[in-house]
Amino acid sequence: MAELKLPRHVAMIMDGNGRWAKKRFLPRTAGHKAGVDAFVEMTDACNELGIEYLTVYAFSTENWNRSQEEVSALMELMVKGIAKYEPEMQKRNIKLKILGDLSRFEDKYRDPILDVQQRLSKNTGMVVSICLSYGGRQEIVYAVNKLLKEGRSEITADDIGENLYSAGMPDPDLIIRTSGEYRTSNFLLWQSAYSEYYFADVFWPDFNREELNKALEAYSKRERRYGR
């Protein structure tokens, strides 16, 4: 991949776990478990390629509308998956960031995730951001309200950017969505103003290194003009 023009920041909408499981006559939780494995593989792949930032959409504000059973299963998988992968992230000098409103999480889910984030906070390698209880509109409202509480009467675009969950990170160069859907689904609405999109037909658990290479090759051929 050395000859390609690689993005600095890749973001991924990990879509299709449930449909992947249904196609195999498995419970939805099996799809989510396979999705965690795909996330680990993509993190390793991006890290090996030298991509500096990886941001994944793991649980949206709208996902709270799913059944309590599925939400709880998702939370358990995320906590266990992050804990299991922590030693490898530490070994690879990967920094973990959690983006979103964690106030709705039960302590038994929120605290272990934040503990891992803290333990990896001093790492200086690739930054992996996991969006949990995240919504793009909600994030913009969060930034504006934060500025209003500071007594600001006039707000600039730079002000908002500096108060988003992702403050300090570059905007994503490439956003990949799996499962053949063509929607942004309230993901990084502010940050994606000039991002390139790539839509893959495979479900997230089947998104492997070969599929990632296809996305990176497509990105490498594009000319980014930023409105010029």
- Is 15 catalytic? The answer is yes
Which backbone phi and psi does 96 adopt, to 5 degrees?
-105, 135
Catalytic residue among 15, 47, 171, 173: 15
The whole-number pLDDT of residue 124 equals 97
- At position 27, the amino acid (one-letter code) is P
Whole-prediction pTM: 0.94
Question: How many CA atoms, within 13 angstroms, populate the side-chain half-sphere of residue 206?
Answer: 14
Look at residue 225 in the predicted model and tell me its pLDDT: 78
17 is catalytic: no
Q: Which of 44, 63, 206, 213 is catalytic?
A: 63
Structure tokens at 87: 């030693």
User: Which residue is it, tokens 């799913």?
Assistant: 66
The one-digit pLDDT tens for each residue of the chain (228 residues) are 457 899 999 999 999 999 999 999 999 999 999 999 999 999 999 999 999 999 999 999 999 999 999 999 999 999 999 999 999 999 999 999 999 999 999 999 999 999 999 999 999 999 999 999 999 999 999 999 999 999 998 999 999 999 999 999 999 999 999 999 999 999 999 999 999 999 999 999 999 999 999 999 999 999 887 776
The DSSP element (H or E) to which 130 belongs, if any, is: strand 127-134
